[in-house]
Structure 1
């Protein structure tokens, strides 16, 4: 009698380097770009921890988080505008205008904290809408339009303040709470960044508005043919930038104790763009996310703080930021497979 074996075939163990479906799904969810950022962040934290025993202390981590908050707010909205194929180089100057306005209205009118904040946000909306209208209806390239805004809004902040810090707000409980308060041991400024980042993330990933923004950045012609009102979306995005830049300006006022026309806001546009690019935003539009941007903000904050703690000349921080921006763009170009300039097709 012939006996037929019914035993199951032996299962081959995964070969070296093979990934289980669960691991592959996890890596896909995190994203290769984000994994690289996490690795870079761990290296930076580890390096400076070796050089300075207090670098990883809770107090210094809070310092890093607070210092990175304003950059983080601007990087979040810079991510949105880059996704839809635009750019805003004027965000630092917008922060300066909002900071001055919030302090001047608070100290000169006697109307209270909320009046100063409302005035700053109102000015932020006006500036953002103006940028959007110039780009959309003036048909001006976003880089050129906001480069002009960088100079114009910086000049406006200096004219309003006569080039000096304005007012003193640290006699007010609300400003003290915003600038120096904590909730559950975490600085209020960090909570504000978390709320803004989560809101924008949900907007991008779980609403028709977000899907349309990605579509506009990916292929504006196809988006237009699909019935998307591109002009309306662009004006909305630049108005959103104005609002968040105003919030950043209010936090700058609360943190420094007075309205700052340029100090504390100069150079923020470079940091925001660098963080967005490092976080995986394709500068041509259609790609990017808030998670990667926040990781890049953390990386930049940790690097800047480490250089400061080690007493390294602050000018090197600008060199590092510029180098990181170039590295981010080079990586993007390599991944996209775009033809190098000057090489035959």
Structure 2
């Protein structure tokens, strides 16, 4: 066969072959998902403005929505990292409760503002350390280890408070929740939430730590063969989740002016739900901080609209459940594609 004949045959074969099927880039999918979440948030804003225009659109109400989103939002940032790595943390609500009551005991408050803040953070990190050691080095399943921490944390919080509410007497802590502490009309809690969100986004998208977290969640064995210390990475991730819980506990103390063993009730479910509708895969390997934050804002806005319209909480829970189911179905379809 001559070169010209071979070339002609090759051209014929190439022409007959079907063009390769192109997959949409992950970045494009993420952009579409973010725009979809923003669309849902815009629709909720329109509904709230149409049903209760004087109340929903008031500056004070918008400040309230953002303030309420701040506490669970910070917890969700930590939860997002854990889920991206293929783990789960069912103990975040209990850690918030334990950190809040430990930081508001009479003995702790004697050390003032610094004592309350330090105690909340160190309790959160300590609980995260226990979770991380049990999961990464103890070989326990994350579901079981964090479920045990949930039970132990709630029990210890109840024992510390004896079922009573511990009031905050530190002036510096109480002043953070007052209107005079607002910066350009923005509550300090919202500024902390924004700072944690920005740092979380940078860590996930611009650092080796973030890339390792995604790699561990995508395929832990492949990550290990690539030289990543999977156990140490998982330990760090649960430490990060505990730190976020400690920050959230301090903000909750500022917001409520007290510490209670019932604080953080069902935070684990709200955080997981917000991360899921934000695009984080429960199986790990994919997720965004921006999506998770938008998920928190969507749930908080729904709660606010239902409260303003005096609707039953049962209906609100049904609406949240429907949103979670829809988000999971969309995720499954996107994953198949």
TM-score under structure 2 length normalisation: 0.88
| Distance in 1, Cα, partners of 2:76 & 2:176 | 24
**1:266 match:** 265
Shift of residue 28, structure 1, vs aligned partner: 2.7
Kept in 2: contact 1:94–1:245 (CA 8 A): yes
Q: How does 1:310-325 map to 2 (within 5 A)?
A: 310-325=309-324
Q: How far off its partner does 1:331 sit?
A: 1.4
Q: What is residue 297 of structure 1 aligned with on the other side?
A: 296
Q: Which has the higher helix share?
A: 2
SS in 2 for 1:31: helix
Q: Which moved more, 1:187-196 or 1:29-38?
A: 29-38
Question: Counterparts of 1:199-210 in structure 2 under 5 Å?
Answer: 199-210=199-210
Query: Residue 47 of structure 2: SS of its match in structure 1?
Result: helix
- The Cα shift of 1:322 comes to 2.6
Q: Retained in 2: the 8 A contact 1:252–1:260?
A: no
**What does residue range 32-43 of structure 1 map to in structure 2 within 5 Å?**
32-43=32-43
1:283 & 1:179 partners in 2: Cα distance?
38
Task: Let me know the Cα RMSD of the aligned residues.
Answer: 1.9
Shift of 1:179: 6.3
- SS of the counterpart of 2:166? coil
Contact 1:166 1:259 in 2 (8 A): yes
Aligned length: 311
Helix, strand or coil for the counterpart of 1:183? Answer: coil
Query: Structure 1 residue 110: deviation in Å?
Result: 1.5
Aligned 8 A contact 1:271 1:321 in 2: no
Q: Where do 5+ consecutive residues of structure 2 fail to align?
A: 1-23
Shift of 1:137: 2.1
Instruction: Find the counterpart in structure 1 of residue 144 from structure 2.
Output: 144
Deviations 1:114-158 (A, max 9, x none): 012111211111100100111122211112211222222111111
Aligned residue for 1:72?
73
Q: Residues 179 and 254 of structure 1 are in contact (CA less than 8 Å); yes or no, is this contact kept in structure 2?
A: no
Structure 1 residues 34 and 58: alpha-carbon distance in aligned structure 2, compared to 1, 3 A threshold = same
Report the equivalent of 1:62: 63
Q: How many Å separate the matches in 2 of 1:40 and 1:109?
A: 43
How far apart, in 1, do the equivalents of 2:211 and 2:168 lie?
A: 43
- Give the equivalent residue in structure 1 for 2:130: 130
Task: Supply the distance in 1 between the matched residues of 2:330 and 2:178 (Cα, whole angstroms).
Answer: 37
> Which secondary structure does the structure 2 equivalent of 1:288 belong to?
coil
Specify every segment of 5 or more residues in structure 1 that has no aligned partner in the other structure, as ranges.
Answer: 1-23, 339-345
Map 1:118-197; keep pairs closer than 5 Å.
118-169=118-169, 172-178=171-177, 181-197=181-197
CA–CA distance in 1 between the matches of 2:82 and 2:330?
20
Q: Is the Cα contact below 8 Å between 2:102 and 2:108 reproduced in 1?
A: no
